[in-house]
Amino acid sequence: MEDGEIIALYWQRSETALAATQRKYSKYCYAIAHNILQSHEDAQECVNDTLARAWGAIPPARPSALRTFLGKITRNLALNALEKAQAEKRGSGQAVLALSELEQCLAGKDEMPGEIDEITQMIDRFLARLDAAQRRVFVQRYWYARNLEDIANDCGMTVSKAKSILFRLRRKLKDELMKEGVFQ
């Protein structure tokens, strides 16, 4: 079933929308949640919560890209679950490691809600200027929270090269954000 048809089912408040969404996107959402949470049960719960959130959000939302819409919900739910779990026990997973790597680019700024949108747009422009390989490594690490070994294998490079690319991209991102006046 096409995304437009699934969204139309949501607008009709047909429960078929949930079944269609689950069939088409549950593996995708599970992969995002599992990369962040490193737990089958927590990832599965996150997928279920994603479906519930989508049901509550559509309508009024009419996403232009259902996959991206669901991925964003899943990622946010997983990060919230991770934050809660980290508060309860101070472990360390790939998401914590990946986010701590980006901290050097984004730390030191108390964002207001409007500024977060501005920073997001700046990062989007930054990613658009990267070549496909660099963008893929960056997104796999910082959006999907994948480990370096998997990224390197998928991209046909060594772990050392993947680390080097990420290091240079973080430095480049920080420089661009500083040029834009986001950080001093």
Mean per-residue pLDDT of the chain: 84
Confidence bin at 122 (pLDDT 50/70/90): confident
Two tokens, residue 105: 């680019």
DSSP letter at 60 equals: T
Cα–Cα dist 17/51, whole Å: 10
Cα–Cα dist 81/37, whole Å: 8
In CATH, the number for domain 3-88 is: 1.10.1740
25 versus 117: which is more confidently predicted? 25
Please tell me the predicted confidence (pLDDT) of residue 97: 59
15 pLDDT more than 50: yes
Cis check for the bond before 60: say yes or no (omega within 30 of 0).
yes
C-beta separation of 40 from 77 below 8 A: no
**Mean local confidence (pLDDT), 76-99:** 68
CB under 8 Å to 62, separation ≥6 — which residues? Answer: 7, 11
C-beta separation of 148 from 137 below 8 A: no
Cα–Cα dist 160/50, whole Å: 35
Confidence bin at 113 (pLDDT 50/70/90): very low
Domain boundaries, the chain: 3-88, 94-179
CA distances from 131 to 101, 127, 135, 177 (A): 21, 8, 6, 19
Place of tokens 């934050």: 83
DSSP letter at 148 equals: H
Class of 94-179 in CATH: mainly alpha
91 pLDDT more than 50: no
